[in-house]
Amino acid sequence: MPAKLSVNLNAIAMLRNRRDLPWPSVTGIGRIALAAGAHGLTVHPRPDERHTRLSDVPEIRSLIDDEFPGAEFNIEGYPTEDFLLLVEKHQPEQVTLVPDDPAQATSDHGWN
């Protein structure tokens, strides 16, 4: 099976958050990626929202459902109860469990 591209929007969200402005738009960049042929979009909403915010998740879900219904939504995260509730609510096509502590600066290791 050939690999398919899912564009990770976390760096876009981090840039937006650093500027404390609504630009760059996470959904706007997601729209560009999908229109250019990406198979899906990926986010990793951390509890401190330093990258993707929880409010981004329903916006991206709506973008895919309304404009790109064949695209895949992938939500990455550490499997806390809150994370599992988030994915249950927004029903991504894929969930990637990430073995990082919620306070960790970045994901840098696998499961032990």
For the chain, give the percent of residues with pLDDT over 70.
89
Res. 43: pLDDT tops 80: yes
Range among 11-20, 46-55, 56-65 rated most confident: 56-65
Q: What is the DSSP letter of 59?
A: H
Q: What is the mean pLDDT of the chain?
A: 91
Question: What angle, rounded to 10 degrees, do the helices at 26-35 and 56-67 form?
Answer: 30
More confident of the two residues 93 and 49: 93
Res. 11: pLDDT tops 60: yes
CB atoms under 10 Å from CB of 46, counted, come to: 23
Here the tokens at position 46 are 């951390």
* Mean pLDDT confidence for 27-55: 96
Res. 111: pLDDT tops 60: no
Triad 59, 102, 111: Cα angle to 5°: 105
CATH domain 6-97 topology: TIM Barrel (3.20.20)
- Within 8 A by CB and 6+ apart from 13, the residues are 26, 43, 51, 52, 53, 56
Kindly state the helix (H) or strand (E) to which residue 35 belongs, with its residue range.
helix 26-35
Res. 88: pLDDT tops 90: yes
